[in-house]
């Protein structure tokens, strides 16, 4: 904007009020700009809209003096002319408004610029009007502010004697709830404001007034109790305690509004949109459509959507208990080494008959040693005895490991290997079990569309656990919130019914939602942050669910890497036996070697 041109346009006119009174008004306005608005933000918006020529001249004179006092600050000027339809876009969080009547103030239509905001703006309104019309205009301006959730509205006036006074409204007092009576909060003594707080906090005490909360009976997050008159009361739960703590700190009365819609998210949103509720608590699906119609405070708790299966379905049967101690590669190597040793002994017994006794069943003997049974036939040659010792050591170690794991399987409810990730579930075409309530949160997840699904009719999340536990099939898995699982385990006093897969499926932020541009948002944001930082939410979680321990879900399978040294020892032993075999063959021709072997 061309500030010089704007200054000259105002400088060429003169106000009709006494110049000393104009100077006092300019000093007061400049103090508000520097000591209030620019302390909260980096820039502000100055809006001028007046209809009376006398008042327009007054504001022209005021602007001239403001330009003389202006320091280094950013400002956006908006001058509205009569019947103007053009709107100025942009953020208008901190505002100074110069006007001469409620009608001119209403033509600014600031509500259209703020109705989609997720914060509370600040409006410092300079109302220049005749003394006999001042209270009526103040009442109308504050009614407009309250109707459009503009909680931070302060109005500066100047009477016929040149006195500067600042008014605001307090919607919640001991005498009324939602009132807009003008209250004098400060005055300007010529040098400074008597009370420097020109934007007082108005929602620190609701004086017992009612705030309506859209909430459902969903343990462990909220417990509701219905009295004899059919009125619902919050009695517990993580979010129930949060709501009660808020009501205690801010001194308001909770009126419970149970959404009638079967899907809590949709019902609560409708209530906020239609003004039937002031707040709603829960984990809603974060979509652009939702954020266009409601405002949310900062998250106070995070839930984890998990994938889990029935532990009973993965218990090892008798055949699996014999197979599962080793993985496939280990089993393959064990039997390959057995066949190699058997083949080697068979070859030696056939071509080197002088090294073995007659009628020796090498296949059965090596198998007997592998299974831990005794054998009475031992080789006569050194290389054969070395092979025999190596095979004994190898099979002893393998049997010890196998028998130890088999003993563990026989005395514990060991489970088979569960799917490791989402892709394996898709590849094996698992069936998804999901609650009706949770399905509403996950409607946009592409992963679920690739698998067949079963939706349970229960609305509290507990039905999923009962279903997956009852069906007990390995190709079924369920999706639910981890907190519901912990609550289910606490209620049934067991922790071994389900196995959580290794990866989280999705995280949801549990948040308090308000109507778009709610007057409550800044105050509730401040208090909820204090509650969260104090650790109260975690304390309520432990109270409702208790401390959780980490469980080992996977079966203990010994893989090759766990004892590859055994196979290394076997390989070294076979190499040594081969070397002895070569030396013994040479001993038939070399006398020194023959004498050495005779001494051994």
What is the distance between the alpha carbons of residues 280 and 32, in angstroms, rounded to a whole number? 36
Is the pLDDT score of 168 beyond 90? yes
Is the pLDDT score of 573 beyond 80? no
- Best mean pLDDT range from 7-16, 207-216, 418-427, 431-440: 207-216
Tokens of 451: 């698998």
Q: Which of 94-103, 119-128, 352-361, 462-471 has the lowest mean pLDDT?
A: 352-361
> Average pLDDT in the 303-326 region?
75
Is the pLDDT score of 558 beyond 70? no
Asked whether residue 226 is domain-assigned, the answer is: no
Report the candidate in 287, 300, 294, 234 with the shortest Cα–Cα distance to residue 521.
294
Please report the pLDDT score of residue 14 as a whole number: 41
> Average pLDDT in the 209-229 region?
90
> Average pLDDT in the 431-444 region?
80
Q: Which residues are CB-contacts of 583 (< 8 A; sequence separation ≥ 6)?
A: 593, 597
Asked whether residue 516 is domain-assigned, the answer is: no
Q: Which of 104-118, 147-161, 231-245, 437-451 has the lowest mean pLDDT?
A: 437-451
Report the candidate in 299, 268, 295, 300 with the shortest Cα–Cα distance to residue 120.
295
Asked whether residue 7 is domain-assigned, the answer is: yes
> Average pLDDT in the 474-482 region?
87
Under the banding of pLDDT at 50, 70 and 90, the label for residue 562 is low
Q: Where a domain ends, among 164, 188, 212?
A: 188
DSSP letter (8 states) at residue 94: E
What is the distance between the alpha carbons of residues 37 and 34, in angstroms, rounded to a whole number? 6
Q: What is the dihedral of CA 312, 313, 316, 318, to 10 degrees?
A: 100
Report the candidate in 476, 523, 480, 467 with the shortest Cα–Cα distance to residue 172.
523
Q: How many CB atoms lie within 10 A of CB 188?
A: 21
CA distances from 332 to 327, 340, 344, 404, 574 (A): 9, 12, 18, 20, 18
Is the pLDDT score of 213 beyond 90? yes
DSSP letter (8 states) at residue 20: H
What is the distance between the alpha carbons of residues 367 and 133, in angstroms, rounded to a whole number? 111
Tokens of 198: 């020109």
Q: Which of 159-173, 311-325, 431-445, 528-542 has the lowest mean pLDDT?
A: 311-325
Report the candidate in 346, 338, 323 with the shortest Cα–Cα distance to residue 370.
338
Burial 105-135 (b: 16+ CB within 10 A, else e): bebbebeebbeebbebbbbbbbbbbeeeebe
* 184 and 324 both lie in a single domain: no
The rounded mean pLDDT for the chain is 79
What residue has token string 């969080």? Answer: 93
pLDDT exceeding 70 applies to what percent of the chain?
74
Phi, psi of 253 (to 5 degrees): -100, 135
Burial 372-392 (b: 16+ CB within 10 A, else e): eeeeebebebbbbebbbebbe
Asked whether residue 493 is domain-assigned, the answer is: no
Indicate the number of domains in the chain: 2
- Contact predicate 212/259, CB 8 Å: no
Q: Which residue has the higher pLDDT, 2 or 467?
A: 467
Q: pLDDT, tens digit, for every residue of 376-422?
A: 666 666 666 677 777 777 777 777 777 677 666 665 666 667 787 77
Q: Which residue has the higher pLDDT, 447 or 169?
A: 169
Question: Could you tell me the end-to-end alpha-carbon distance of the chain, in angstroms, rounded to an integer?
Answer: 108
Is the pLDDT score of 355 beyond 60? no
- Contact predicate 204/250, CB 8 Å: yes
Is the pLDDT score of 30 beyond 80? yes
- Contact predicate 506/444, CB 8 Å: no
Is the pLDDT score of 553 beyond 50? no
Please report the pLDDT score of residue 390 as a whole number: 74
Q: Where a domain ends, among 133, 156, 188?
A: 188
Domain that holds residue 18: 3-188
Please report the pLDDT score of residue 466 as a whole number: 86
Asked whether residue 251 is domain-assigned, the answer is: no
Please report the pLDDT score of residue 156 as a whole number: 93
Please report the pLDDT score of residue 190 as a whole number: 83
Is the pLDDT score of 121 beyond 90? yes
Asked whether residue 91 is domain-assigned, the answer is: yes
Under the banding of pLDDT at 50, 70 and 90, the label for residue 71 is low
Q: Where a domain ends, among 147, 169, 188?
A: 188
Under the banding of pLDDT at 50, 70 and 90, the label for residue 16 is low
Is the pLDDT score of 4 beyond 70? no
* 183 and 323 both lie in a single domain: no
Is the pLDDT score of 530 beyond 80? yes
Q: Which residue has the higher pLDDT, 409 or 59?
A: 59
What is the distance between the alpha carbons of residues 389 and 393, in angstroms, rounded to a whole number? 6
Which DSSP helix (H) or strand (E) runs through 223? strand 223-226
Under the banding of pLDDT at 50, 70 and 90, the label for residue 361 is low
Is the pLDDT score of 316 beyond 90? no
Instruction: Give the pairing of strands 210-214 and 431-435.
Output: unpaired
Which DSSP helix (H) or strand (E) runs through 333? helix 328-351
Q: What is the CATH number of the domain that holds 99?
A: 3.40.50.2300
What is the distance between the alpha carbons of residues 152 and 360, in angstroms, rounded to a whole number? 102
What is the distance between the alpha carbons of residues 193 and 185, in angstroms, rounded to a whole number? 10
Asked whether residue 137 is domain-assigned, the answer is: yes
Tokens of 95: 């505002």
Is the pLDDT score of 574 beyond 80? no
Asked whether residue 457 is domain-assigned, the answer is: no
């Amino acid at each position: 904007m061309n500030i010089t041109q704007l200054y000259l346009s105002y400088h060429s006119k003169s106000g009709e009020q006494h110049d000393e009174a104009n100077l006092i008004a300019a000093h007061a306005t400049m103090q508000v700009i520097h000591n209030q608005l620019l302390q909260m933000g980096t820039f502000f918006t100055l809006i001028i809209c007046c209809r009376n020529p006398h008042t327009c001249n007054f504001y022209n004179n005021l602007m001239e003096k403001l330009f003389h006092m202006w320091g280094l600050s950013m400002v956006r000027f908006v001058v509205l002319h009569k019947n103007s339809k053009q709107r100025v876009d942009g953020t208008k969080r901190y505002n100074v408004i110069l006007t001469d009547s409620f009608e001119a103030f209403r033509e600014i239509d600031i509500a259209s610029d703020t109705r989609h905001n997720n914060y509370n703006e600040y409006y410092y309104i300079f109302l220049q009007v005749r003394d006999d019309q001042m209270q009526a205009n103040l009442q109308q301006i504050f009614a407009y502010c309250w109707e459009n959730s503009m909680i931070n509205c302060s109005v500066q006036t100047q009477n016929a004697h040149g006195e500067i006074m600042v008014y605001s409204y307090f919607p919640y007092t001991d005498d009324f709830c939602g009132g807009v009576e003008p209250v004098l909060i400060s005055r300007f003594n010529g040098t400074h404001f008597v009370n420097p707080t020109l934007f007082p906090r108005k929602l620190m005490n609701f004086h017992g007034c009612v705030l309506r909360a859209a909430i459902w009976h969903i343990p462990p997050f909220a417990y509701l109790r219905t009295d004899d008159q059919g009125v619902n009361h919050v009695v517990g739960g993580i979010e129930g305690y949060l709501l009660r703590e808020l009501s205690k700190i801010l001194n308001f009365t909770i009126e419970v509004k149970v959404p009638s819609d079967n899907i809590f998210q949709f019902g609560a949103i409708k209530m906020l949109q239609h003004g039937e509720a002031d707040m709603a608590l829960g984990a809603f699906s974060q979509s652009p459509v939702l954020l266009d119609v409601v405002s949310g405070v900062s998250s106070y708790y995070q839930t984890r959507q998990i994938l889990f299966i029935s532990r009973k379905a993965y218990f090892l049967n008798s055949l699996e208990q014999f197979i599962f101690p080793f993985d496939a590669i280990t089993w393959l190597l064990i039997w390959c080494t057995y066949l190699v040793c058997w083949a080697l002994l068979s070859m030696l017994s056939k071509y080197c008959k002088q090294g073995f006794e007659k009628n020796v069943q090498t296949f059965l003997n090596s198998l007997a040693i592998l299974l831990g049974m005794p054998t009475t036939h031992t080789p006569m040659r050194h290389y054969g005895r070395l092979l025999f010792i190596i095979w004994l050591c190898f099979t002893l170690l393998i049997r010890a490991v196998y028998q130890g794991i088999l003993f563990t399987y026989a005395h514990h409810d060991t489970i088979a290997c569960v799917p490791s990730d989402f892709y394996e579930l898709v590849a094996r075409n698992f069936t998804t079990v999901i609650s009706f309530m949770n399905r509403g949160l996950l409607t946009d997840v592409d992963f679920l569309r690739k698998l067949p699904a079963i939706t349970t009719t229960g609305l509290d999340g507990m039905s999923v656990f009962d279903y997956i536990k009852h069906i007990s099939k390995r190709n079924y898995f369920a999706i639910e919130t981890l907190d519901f699982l912990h609550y289910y385990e606490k209620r049934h006093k067991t922790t071994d019914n389900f196995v959580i897969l290794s990866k989280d499926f999705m995280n949801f932020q549990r948040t308090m939602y308000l109507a778009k541009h709610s007057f409550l948002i800044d105050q509730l944001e401040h208090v909820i942050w204090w509650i969260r930082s104090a650790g109260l939410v975690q304390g309520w979680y432990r109270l409702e669910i208790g401390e959780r321990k980490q469980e080992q879900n996977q079966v203990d399978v010994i893989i090759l890497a766990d004892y590859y040294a055994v196979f290394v020892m076997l390989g070294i032993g076979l190499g040594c036996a081969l070397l002895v075999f070569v030396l013994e063959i040479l001993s038939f021709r070399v006398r020194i070697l023959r004498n050495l072997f005779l001494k051994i």
